[in-house]
Amino acid sequence: MRLEEVDTPALVIELDALERNLRRLNDAVAGQVRVRAHAKTHKCAEIARRQVAAGAVGVCCQKVSEAEVMVAGGIGDVLVSNEVVGAAKLARLADLARRARIGVCVDDARNVAELDAACAAAGTRLDVYVEIDVGARRCGVAPGKAAVALAREVAARANLRFAGLQAYHGAAQHLRAMAERRAAIELAAAAVRETRAQIEAADVPCPRVTGAGSGSFMFEIATGAFDEIQPGSYIFMDADYARNEWAAPLPRFEQALFVLATVMSRPVPERAVVDAGLKASSVDSGLPLLWQRPGLTCVRVSDEHGVIEIAPGAAAPALGEKLLLVPGHCDPTVNLYERYVCVRGGRVEALWPIEARGALV
């Protein structure tokens, strides 16, 4: 089937671009650190397996339910790069460690005790990373003393392995200028180095520091303070990442994810309406862009409509014509679909299920 024959809205992967993105990441990293790709972006075991085949040690997830999907899909090393709270989720996480190497983050001593108890009940052990807040002001204990205390708590538990530090600076990923992102990551790295030194001075070995995202990972690598990176969006990119300044040392990634939409209304010459609104392309980080259609601009969306302004002189799309949109934000857009329509050279080559779509719990 040709791409134009696919009914819409549909979530489309350009396979050549995806494959080049996979290679470019590993070429840029060049073995300096471990790559643990973030599966919260794609939620798809097929893509996770390709990331591992390209050199990733495994994946990270944000939810236990995502980790369950990844383990079921054959991924042997999964880090839940997030805190997990509540007896039901802890029991599932501990149970999952029967089937794969599983890690998790902590920022609370009571949670450490509950994790240990869950592992004792399941007869398993988890890798536990102490999350430190390196600037995102979200989860994580403060760098330094608080992190040392928590690392000791973890290390003292029979059913937990203290695996190191989680130090992800989410807020830095979309600082637009390269220099701003580099500066934010250098501050994060200073906090990491100091914390790791204090932990090791307390006679607790700190095997690994993990963190970084698609917008910053080469800066983390340059600091020498990180052992592992967690990029997710690099495989797809989106309109928000495209607004970042992007230059060496970051490799150039290509847009590989699109929403295919149909023009469903041409009420006046200067306006087209497509059948993809905010239930088809998440707008939390801005409106979608039109792909390779100069003069066409998505100016607003409602639940099921995208309103496109046609500039004077632009090639105007006809009723029924199909257009490719670049989502504002790839991760929550993926979460709206059941499957990817994978295309190469304009032909559908595969459908990949998004098994962890809606995996919230």
Residues that bind a second copy (CB under 8 A): 7-10, 40, 62-63, 82-86, 88-89, 107-108, 110-111, 133, 137-142, 170, 262-268, 271, 273, 275-276, 278-280, 282-284, 301-305, 307, 319-320, 331-332, 335-338, 357-358, 360-361
CB 1 within 8 A of CB 22: no
CB of 286 to a second copy, least distance (A): 11
Tokens describing residue 198: 């204090």
CB of 287 to a second copy, least distance (A): 10
Residue closer to a second copy, measured from CB, 251 or 317: 317
Residue closer to a second copy, measured from CB, 10 or 18: 10
| Euclidean distance between CA atoms 281 and 258, whole angstroms | 9
Strand 228-229 to 101-106 pairing:
unpaired
CB of 202 to a second copy, least distance (A): 21
Q: Cα-atom radius of gyration of the chain, to the nearest Å?
A: 22
Cα–Cα distances in Å, from 94 out to 40, 98, 150, 183? Answer: 20, 8, 20, 38
Residue closer to a second copy, measured from CB, 221 or 308: 308
CB of 34 to a second copy, least distance (A): 23
22: nearest Cα among 50, 58, 59, 61: 50
CB of 42 to a second copy, least distance (A): 13
CB of 288 to a second copy, least distance (A): 12
- Looking at residue 283, its amino acid is V
Residue closer to a second copy, measured from CB, 108 or 194: 108
Residue closer to a second copy, measured from CB, 107 or 153: 107
Tokens describing residue 308: 């496109």
- Residue 106 has φ and ψ, to the nearest 5°, of -135, 150
Residue closer to a second copy, measured from CB, 226 or 337: 337
- Residue 181 has φ and ψ, to the nearest 5°, of -65, -45
Tokens describing residue 16: 């050549």
For residue 14, the cross-strand partners are 343
